[in-house]
Amino acid sequence: MEQGTSCSRPLHGFTLVELLVVIAIISVLIGLLLPAVQSAREAARRCNCLNNVAQLGLALHTYEFTHEAFPPGVTGDAGPIRNLAEGKHVGWIIRLLPFMEEQALERHFTPEDGVYAASNATVREARIPWLKCPSSNTSAYRGSDGDPQVAVSSYAGCHHDVEAPIDADNNGMLFLDSRIRFSDIADGSSHTLLIAERRGSEADLGWASGTRATLRNTSPFPKRDPKNHGDDPTPADPLFVGGFDSDHAGGVVVAGLADGSTRTIWRAISPDLLRQLGNRADGELPARDDEY
């Protein structure tokens, strides 16, 4: 070997083809992994939602134990109730505040003034964690009448079994001036819907309002509009209430029955079975659990 000449190993690097192959493999692995991750996240969100419904059900039953009847769906106005920021519209969730560790909100709310009064604006705008489904695409809206943003609820009480205005003659569990006892649930509390998920909408009147914002019926689940990004369109008719729905993947709606249990209801449920769940005393044979 000549003096001054050094010996070294040849350098090897990745070729362009090898690099492209590695990138392709990584892309395939990510493509396989993402659905599993998204599925796990949705399962966690659904579990959280089930817990929210269970907590609301517990509060409703604690109220019933204290007052010997479930809370009225809405008070302070003559029926039928309109989906307008007019009147008092004191909703059932207001009654639950002291049973959900929200005594401060209850103390700052003045029922005599009505939900839409300036004196109750701070309470109306308060966002309560257990009223929000983690899968919901909505959290707060600005009212159509220029009101500041109001906090909304992902959950509503069942006022009737078919589409009808909220009134004192409804056959659900929570409606105008209702005072339902367990003895009034002739079909059995395990076969009667108490609360379930709903989707938000623009001009939503908020969780404090006893309107379609917190009361719904068991009319058939609405058809999904691909252009509708998670919202429940506000109907032109102020007497229209609408049914339940959710933003969960898989076509399920989380619900709470009058016996305190929670479950998921498939959006593909038979309309007759869904209607049957919304009527506390229709006298029909109860549906089996595996039918919904």
Domains of the chain by residue range = 36-291
What was the pLDDT predicted at 193? 96
Q: How many CB atoms are closer than 10 A to CB 189?
A: 16
What was the pLDDT predicted at 236? 84
Collapse the DSSP code of 93 into the 3-class scheme (helix H, G, I; strand E, B; otherwise coil) and give the result: helix
Supply 255's token pair. 């619900």
Nearest alpha-carbon partner for 156 in 112, 207, 100:
207
pLDDT per residue, tens digit, the chain (292 aa), is 455 555 555 556 667 777 788 888 888 777 776 676 667 777 788 889 999 999 999 999 999 999 999 999 999 999 899 999 999 999 999 999 999 999 999 999 999 999 999 999 999 999 999 999 988 876 555 554 555 578 899 999 999 999 999 999 999 999 999 999 999 999 999 999 999 999 877 668 999 999 999 999 999 998 766 555 556 766 789 999 999 999 898 889 999 999 999 999 999 999 999 999 999 998 887 666 666 6
How big is the CA angle at 143 (ends 166 and 231), to the nearest 5 degrees? 70
What was the pLDDT predicted at 282? 87
What was the pLDDT predicted at 251? 87
Pairing of the two strands 252-257 and 193-197: antiparallel
CA distance 191 to 278: 9
Cα-only R_g, the chain: 26
Q: Which residues on neighbouring strands pair with residue 141, listed in sequence order?
A: 150
Cβ within 8 Å of residue 268, ≥6 positions away: 251
What was the pLDDT predicted at 139? 55
What was the pLDDT predicted at 25? 83
What was the pLDDT predicted at 1? 44
What was the pLDDT predicted at 19? 78
Check if the beta carbon of residue 279 is closer than 8 Å to that of residue 161.
Answer: yes
CA distance 4 to 20: 41
